[in-house]
Amino acid sequence: MPTHETRIVEREDLPRVYREAKELASPTFTWNDLGDEVLIVTVGADYSTATLMKDDTFYNLAVSTSDELREIQVSGDTSLWPEGHILPRELGLEVLLRAPDIDSLMHEYTWEEQ
């Protein structure tokens, strides 16, 4: 039976925990949960996704303009996600490590409003 586990990961442990995360666990990493600015990264076997909330607007990190939908696992559910918003797995970790510098993330990466 699937279970949900919440835990706090210290910044120095994040790279190890992220790289050890297994797709079957459908891991989701959240920075500043319930804050004014929130970063959510989901992790799959060979991909990640990054969603950012800033100024009450949600954005997805984009690596291309492809709108073709692909089926992926997001928080334990199968979801259709735009191909251009499916990231290389390590990019999710890169973005997480840049939080809490949200202004820098917004300027240095391409984000598309949901």
Asked if residue 110 belongs to a domain, the reply is no
Parent domain of 40: 11-103
pLDDT for residue 112 is more than 90: yes
Asked if residue 89 belongs to a domain, the reply is yes
Asked if residue 109 belongs to a domain, the reply is no
What's the total number of domains in the chain? Answer: 1
Asked if residue 24 belongs to a domain, the reply is yes
Distance CA 18, CA 22 (A): 9
> Could you tell me which residues are beta bridge partners of residue 6?
none
Give the pLDDT confidence score for residue 4 in this predicted structure. 72
- Over residues 77-87, the mean pLDDT reads 95
Sequence letter at residue 67? D
Contacts of 64 (CB under 8 A, 6+ apart): 83, 84
**Dihedral Cα 87, 63, 6, 54, nearest 10 deg:** 180
pLDDT for residue 41 is more than 90: yes
Give the pLDDT confidence score for residue 59 in this predicted structure. 98
93, 67 in Cβ contact below 8 A? Answer: no
Asked if residue 108 belongs to a domain, the reply is no
Give the pLDDT confidence score for residue 104 in this predicted structure. 96
Task: Indicate yes or no: pTM above 0.75.
Answer: yes
Average pLDDT of every residue of the chain: 92
